[in-house]
Amino acid sequence: MVIIEDLHKRFGKNQVLSGLDLTISEGGVFAVLGPNGSGKTTLIKSVLGMVIPDKGTITVLGENIKKKSDYRHKIDYLPQIANFPSNLKVKELIKMIKDLRAFTNAEDQLIELFRLEPFLDKKLGNLSGGTKQKVNLVLTFMFDSPLIILDEPTSGLDPISLIRLKDLIQKEKAKGKTILITSHIMSFVEEVSDEIVFLLEGKIYFKGTISELKNKTNQPDFEHAIASILIDNHA
């Protein structure tokens, strides 16, 4: 699905990714974890073509993405911070993104799922952080793409929306889609993901299932397993 080879990226003096290799096979939920500044968002943005790598190749669905844009039809992306143009109404934004991508009817269902009807005629600038995140989720999930990338999907969500989001992820997974998630909420990751990828200092430190990680670190639960990696590496 996604093959990343020898990816390098530096921002000024800060080497964020240094020779990262990663292969994500088709189907399932993958969580990309790592301490702050370990390069999770940079990795995701490289796959999306928003960050241009210094070195290395990225292949999405068998196509080298360098200087291409059409492959993004096959990716649904949820950005980390939902900053939308504040003078647009929710309805207008949804319509606009639909115009840019493809026809879809799935948004009505999603709007209902996240109880967004009362906000459709409000301007995005007047919405709360959590509501914006819900709009963000609707925009992401309304297209039926084989690859879904979620950068911190839980931020700002209330408990009930969180449960709905988890259901949504499971539903998409059942359709055979590949879902890439970054999150700092370990319980969320443990619940939804099939496999985790742990980034440390711009490289992959661990890739495998959660039980493999627990065995490797000799820790009974996931949260402590992650913590022990961080302590061992003074991160």
Partner 1 sequence: MRSRWSYVYFAFYLLLGVVLLFLNNDLSKAVITLMNVIIVLVPLIGTIFGVMYYYNSKEFTELLLAQPLKRSSIFLGQYLGVALSLSMSLILGLGLPFVFYGLFESSAIWDFSLLLITGTFLTLIFTALAFNIALSNENKIKGFGYAILLWLFLAIIYDGLFLMTLVMFDDYPLDKLSLIGTMLNPIDLSRTLILLKLDISALLGYTGAVFKQFFGTNFGLIVSFIMLTIWIILPVLRILFKAKKKDF
As a whole number of angstroms, the distance between CA 71 and CA 181 comes to 19
As a whole number of angstroms, the distance between CA 158 and CA 140 comes to 18
Nearer CB in complex with partner 1: 73/115: 73
Nearer CB in complex with partner 1: 52/106: 52
CB under 8 Å to 136, separation ≥6 — which residues? 78, 79, 82
| Residues 92-111 interacting with partner 1 (rule: CB under 8 A) | 97, 100-101
As a whole number of angstroms, the distance between CA 39 and CA 35 comes to 9
Please tell me whether residue 39 binds partner 1 under the rule CB under 8 A: no
Please tell me whether residue 11 binds partner 1 under the rule CB under 8 A: yes
Which one of 17-25, 81-89, 152-160, 171-179 is the stretch in contact with partner 1 (CB under 8 A)?
81-89
Question: Which helix (DSSP H) or strand (DSSP E) does residue 102 occupy?
Answer: none
Question: Which of 73, 95, 171, 216 contacts partner 1 by CB under 8 A?
Answer: 73
As a whole number of angstroms, the distance between CA 92 and CA 43 comes to 31
Question: Which of 13, 36, 62, 70 contacts partner 1 by CB under 8 A?
Answer: 70
Residue 136 — φ and ψ, nearest 5°?
Answer: -55, -45
List of residues contacting partner 1 (CB under 8 A): 11, 45, 48-52, 67, 69-73, 75, 77, 79, 83-85, 87, 97, 100-101
